[in-house]
Chains A and B, each alone.
Chain A
Amino acid sequence: MNYYSLQATNDLYTCIGQSAIYKRRVFHAGFRELCTAVARLERDLGELAQDNYWKEFLQPIKHHRFALYAAPVPVNWQSDTLMSSIQSHTRRCQLLFPDFVSHVQTILDKALALADAQDNPLMEVISQQALSGDDHTGALLLKETWLFSLAEAVLDSYPTLKHVELVNQYQLRGPHCYDQLFVTGPSHWYQEYILRSPRARRVDVVRYGWLPDKWRAEPLFLSAITYQQPATITKNWVEDDDPAGQDSLAGESTGREQDIIPEINWSQISTRMMRQAQDDHSQEYLPARPYLLAAGYAVFLDASENAKVLVLDLEDEAEDEEDKPQQVKYLTISKLRPGMFLLLRTGGGGDYIVPIADRILRENALPLRARQEEWKSRLRKEVEAKGALRTCIDLLDYGAERANEVNVRNWMSSRNIRPQDDRDFDAILKLAGLQGREQEYRNAARQIETARRQAGFYIRQQLLNQVARADLSELHRKGYMDFELPEADGGSLTAFRVEHIAPEVSTVPASRIGHPAKVRES
C-alpha cells in the first residue's frame, strides 16, 4: 500500500518547491562527425534504407549511437565491435551498392577515429556538476534498463560519484527526493513528470548539444481558466548556453528524432523466443503479442480479447471491496502497460496452476485430464478433417449456441476447460461421438474447474505472503524479482516489469505463450 506520512509528503512538496532545473549541453567533435556521416548516408539512401542489407548495416550503428547518447560511456565504447560490424558489410556493399561505398568508408573512418579517444563528455559534465560532500544523495536517470550495466561500470571509476545511484523513471514517483538528479539525453525521452514534478532539489539534464530537446512546459489545463501559468512550471529553469558556440558550427543534420532511438526489432525478439521455448506437440496456434520485459527477457501473451494475466499491482489500488490486499491479481491483458509488473512462471516449468490443481485432484487428476483431452482431441480431428467452418455448422446442427471459428479454436485449446454454455458442450460431445456420456464429461470439467480455482487462490495467497515480506524498492530498481513457491512443486514466479509492448500480433504455438525467454543481455 502506498501510504506515506504527512511528514514525508511535506518533504516532497518542500523539495519540489525548491527544485531548480539546469539543461546542459556537451560536445564531442569526433562523435558528432560519426553521427553526421550516418545521417548523411540515411538521407542519401532514402527509401533504400528499408532494404534488408541497409537495415542490418544501420541497426548496430544506431544501437551504438543511442548507447552513447543515453548513457555516460566513453566515445570509444565497444568501438571494436562497431568497426567489425561495419567492416563485415563493406565488402558486400562494393558488390551490391557501389554508389554508397564512400559513405560506408567515411563511417568506418569516423568510427576508427573514435577508437582511441577515451573522452566521456557526459560523464565529465556529471562529475563537474555533482554536489560535493558525503551527505548528499544523488541519482542518475537512464532511459532503458539495459543501459544500467554500462553506466554502473563507468560510475565505479569515479570515487566522487559513489553517492550517485542509477534509477529508472518508475522509481521517481514516490515521496523520496534526492539532492541531485542527473538526466541523460533530451527531456522528451522521459515522462513529463520527471521535470514537471521533479524528485530532486536540483536536476541536471545532460545531452549532446546537437540533439534537440523538444520538450516545453506547456500548460496542462486550458490556460484561459487555469490558476497557474507555464512560467511557474519552469521556475528555476536554467538553459545552458552553447559552451563555445560549437553547435552553431555544425550546419548539418545528425539524424531525425525517430531514428535516434533505435526501433525495437520485434521480429528478431520473436525469433529468439521461438528458438528458446520448449518443443510443441499440440499443433495448437493462438494469436499472441510479444512483450519486452526488464532484464532482457521477453514473453508472448495471449492476444485474445478477454485473456487475463497475473500481475503484481503496486501502483494502482492496493485493496478490494473488503479492504483485503489485492496486489496480486488477474488483469485483462489488453490493459497491460509499460511499467506494470507481470508474474510469470520461471521455475518448475509449464503452467503454474496445473500442477497444484492436479495435486488438489489427487488420484483423480489423471483420469479427469484424460477425459478432457479425449473430447478436445476428437474436436481437433474434426476441424483438421473438415475445416473450422464445416465443424461450426455441424455443431450448430447439434444444438450449439455459440459455435463460430474463434470459439471453436478456443474450445480446442488446452488452456480452456470447457465451453461456458452446456448446449455448446453437449453439441461438441455429440460431434465427438461421445453422446450419452454428457453428464460424465460435464462432471469432469466441473472438478477440473474447481481445482483450478482453488489452485489459483492458493498461489495468490502464497505470493501475497511473499510480496508482504519482499523489499519492493529492489523490484522497482532492478525491474524483476523472484518469488519462490516451495509448496507449489518447488516452482517460482518472477515479477517482470513490462518495458515495451509490440504493436503487432502474431500467431504462435500455444505452448510458447506465457514463458519468458532471455532475448538480450541485460
Chain B
Amino acid sequence: MNAVATQERAILPGSLYYQQEERWTPLPAWTQFLLDLGFALATQEDPGNRIVAGLALPIRSYAAPFIATGVIAGKLSLLDQNNDALERFEQIRALPIGTSLAYRKIGKRIKGLFDGVEEAKGHFMILLRTNNELYKIPSTLALQVDIPAALSKSLPRRSNRRTKTALPPFLSLFLGQERARAVVLQSHLDCVIIGPIAQLTAEITETRLAVQDTTGGFAPGTLQDIIRARRLAKETESYRSELYYTHTRELEGKRQEIPVFVIFDGAVGFLKWRDFWRCSNWVVLLDQTEADFDTAVHTFNEECVKNEVKKANLGISLSPPSRMPVVVYQEDLP
C-alpha cells in the first residue's frame, strides 16, 4: 500500500474557495468530505484489489466533480508516476508504425507519426517523426505523449503548435508547481464519470472557485482546470478524466480504456454500466430522491454479498455529512 502523509491530505483540498454573495468563502464541510474521500480512495494502491465506495446522497449535485477532483489530486500525490509512464510506453510501443501521436512540452504540442522505439544505453526512447524532425522521447516521459482517439496516418501540415500551457495560478496554488505541471503536460485517464452530462458540465465549468495566494489575493478557476475532462478540453490540452452520458452509445464497440476510477453519478448509470467497468475502482453515487434508488442500493448490496469484500482501511477517519450513509470496501479484482 502506498500511503500518503496525512497532513498532505488535509492541505490539498482545504485551500479551495467558492463565491458566496460575491465574496470568496472556504468550501463547505460536505465538499471537503467529498474531496477527502476521493483523495483517500485514490491513494490506496493495492495491486490485486479494487476499492468500491457507495454514497447515498441527499442530492446528486456536485458530488461527482468534487470526488473526481479528490481522486485526481490523490493520484498526483503518489510520487512514483513511473508505473503509469511505463504502462503508456507499452501502449505506444504496441501501436503500428505511422500512428499519429502528439507530444506535449511546455508551450508546445508537437504532432507527428510514431516511428518505433529505440534503445540506447539501457533506456528506451519513443521515436516521433514530424515533417522536418525526428524527436526521441524518453520512455519516462511517455505520459506526455497522447494517442489521439481517431487514428490517422497522415502528417499534419503544421506539426509544431504553440499552446497555452503556462501553469494557471489556480492550478499551481491548489496542487503545487510540480503536480500542476504534470496535469498540464501529461494526459492520463484517472477517472471517468458516467452521469447526466449537461449538469456535470455546468457544475465543472460554470462554478467559480478560487485558491488563496500568499498575498491574500485569490486565483480563480473552475474544477475543469483540475479534472480536465477530455470532452470539455480543447484538442491541444491534456486530460485527466472523461465524462460519459448515462445512456451513451459512444462506448459501444470502442476500444475499452480502463480508467483508474469510475464514478457512477446516479442509479441508472450504475445499473446500466457496472459490468463494463469491472476492472476499475468504483465510486457509486446514489441520489436518495431518484426513482431507481432502491433498486440500485439493492444491487450494490448484492454485489457486496456476492463478492468477498473486506472493509477498506483508508488511514483517515471519515465523517460524512449528516444523513449521508457511506460505505467503502475492497474486493479482489476479477
Cα-based distance from A233 to B249 in the complex (angstroms): 38
- Evaluate contact between A175 and B59: CB separation under 8 angstroms: yes
In the complex with contacts A10-B28, A221-B301, A321-B250, A16-B323 CB distance below 8 A:
yes
- Evaluate contact between A10 and B327: CB separation under 8 angstroms: no
Asked if B326 is at the interface of the complex by the 8 Å CB criterion, the answer is yes
Name the segment of A120-128, A143-151, A190-198, A256-264 touching the other chain. A190-198
| Residue interface bits B164-197, CB-to-A below 8 A is 1, else 0 | 0000000000000000000000000000000011
On chain B, the number of residues with a Cβ less than 8 Å from chain A's Cβ atoms is 50
- Evaluate contact between B323 and A2: CB separation under 8 angstroms: no
- Evaluate contact between A221 and B289: CB separation under 8 angstroms: no
Asked if B143 is at the interface of the complex by the 8 Å CB criterion, the answer is no
Which residues does chain B contribute within 8 Å of A220, judged by CB atoms?
56, 297, 325
The one of A4, A197, A316, A321 that contacts B61, using a Cβ cutoff of 8 Å: A4
Asked if A158 is at the interface of the complex by the 8 Å CB criterion, the answer is no
Which residues does chain B contribute within 8 Å of A321, judged by CB atoms?
245, 248-250
Query: Distance in Å from the Cβ of A15 to the closest Cβ of chain B?
Result: 9
Asked if B218 is at the interface of the complex by the 8 Å CB criterion, the answer is no
Asked if A437 is at the interface of the complex by the 8 Å CB criterion, the answer is no
**Interface size bracket, A side:** 35 or more
In the complex with contacts A193-B293, A321-B250, A323-B198, A4-B59 CB distance below 8 A:
yes
Which residues does chain B contribute within 8 Å of A173, judged by CB atoms?
59, 289
- Evaluate contact between A319 and B197: CB separation under 8 angstroms: yes
Cα-based distance from A196 to B293 in the complex (angstroms): 13
In the complex with contacts A4-B59, A222-B301, A196-B323 CB distance below 8 A:
yes
| Residue interface bits B200-233, CB-to-A below 8 A is 1, else 0 | 0111000100000000000000000000000000
Cα-based distance from A172 to B58 in the complex (angstroms): 11
Asked if A12 is at the interface of the complex by the 8 Å CB criterion, the answer is yes
Asked if A246 is at the interface of the complex by the 8 Å CB criterion, the answer is no
Which residues does chain B contribute within 8 Å of A193, judged by CB atoms?
58, 288-289, 293
Asked if B45 is at the interface of the complex by the 8 Å CB criterion, the answer is no
Which residues does chain B contribute within 8 Å of A3, judged by CB atoms?
61, 198-199, 202-203
User: Closest A-chain residue to B309, C-beta based?
Assistant: A225
- Evaluate contact between A16 and B207: CB separation under 8 angstroms: no
Q: Is the interface of B mostly helix, strand, loop or mixed?
A: mixed
Cα-based distance from A3 to B207 in the complex (angstroms): 11
User: Closest A-chain residue to B60, C-beta based?
Assistant: A2
Query: Distance in Å from the Cβ of B70 to the closest Cβ of chain A?
Result: 16
The one of B197, B246, B268, B326 that contacts A227, using a Cβ cutoff of 8 Å: B326
- Evaluate contact between A6 and B322: CB separation under 8 angstroms: no
Asked if A226 is at the interface of the complex by the 8 Å CB criterion, the answer is yes
Number of A-B contacts (CB under 8 A): 137
- Evaluate contact between A227 and B18: CB separation under 8 angstroms: no
For chain B, residues 281 to 334, give those with C-beta under 8 angstroms from any C-beta of chain A.
288-291, 293-294, 297, 300-301, 304-305, 309, 311, 318, 320-329
Cα-based distance from A222 to B294 in the complex (angstroms): 14
Asked if B30 is at the interface of the complex by the 8 Å CB criterion, the answer is yes
Which residues does chain A contribute within 8 Å of B323, judged by CB atoms?
16-17, 19, 196-197, 232-233, 235
Query: Distance in Å from the Cβ of A139 to the closest Cβ of chain B?
Result: 15
For chain B, residues 40 to 65, give those with C-beta under 8 angstroms from any C-beta of chain A.
54, 56, 58-59, 61-62
In the complex with contacts A1-B198, A175-B59, A316-B325 CB distance below 8 A:
no
Query: Distance in Å from the Cβ of B312 to the closest Cβ of chain A?
Result: 8
The one of A14, A227, A315 that contacts B327, using a Cβ cutoff of 8 Å: A227
Asked if A520 is at the interface of the complex by the 8 Å CB criterion, the answer is no
User: Closest B-chain residue to A195, C-beta based?
Assistant: B323
- Evaluate contact between A1 and B59: CB separation under 8 angstroms: no
Asked if A98 is at the interface of the complex by the 8 Å CB criterion, the answer is no
Cα-based distance from A78 to B312 in the complex (angstroms): 60
| Residue interface bits B235-252, CB-to-A below 8 A is 1, else 0 | 000000000011111100
- Evaluate contact between B325 and A222: CB separation under 8 angstroms: no
The one of A175, A222, A235, A319 that contacts B245, using a Cβ cutoff of 8 Å: A319
In the complex with contacts A5-B207, A13-B58, A196-B288, A323-B322 CB distance below 8 A:
no
Query: Distance in Å from the Cβ of B7 to the closest Cβ of chain A?
Result: 22
- Evaluate contact between A233 and B325: CB separation under 8 angstroms: yes
Cα-based distance from A288 to B254 in the complex (angstroms): 40
The one of B58, B196, B328 that contacts A12, using a Cβ cutoff of 8 Å: B58
**Which of A7, A315, A337 counts the most B-chain CB atoms under 10 A from its CB?**
A7
Asked if A224 is at the interface of the complex by the 8 Å CB criterion, the answer is yes
Asked if A84 is at the interface of the complex by the 8 Å CB criterion, the answer is no
Query: Distance in Å from the Cβ of B44 to the closest Cβ of chain A?
Result: 15
Which residues does chain A contribute within 8 Å of B6, judged by CB atoms?
none
Cα-based distance from A478 to B275 in the complex (angstroms): 40
Subset of 24 A-B contacts with CB under 8 Å: A3-B203, A6-B62, A9-B62, A16-B321, A16-B323, A17-B322, A17-B323, A19-B323, A173-B59, A174-B59, A192-B294, A193-B293, A196-B323, A221-B54, A221-B301, A222-B304, A225-B309, A225-B327, A225-B329, A227-B327, A228-B325, A317-B196, A318-B198, A319-B245
Q: A197-B323, A228-B324 are in contact. List 20 more A-B contacts (CB 8 A).
A: A1-B198, A3-B198, A9-B59, A193-B288, A196-B288, A219-B325, A220-B56, A222-B305, A224-B311, A225-B329, A226-B326, A316-B268, A317-B196, A317-B245, A319-B196, A321-B249, A321-B250, A337-B291, A339-B291, A340-B291
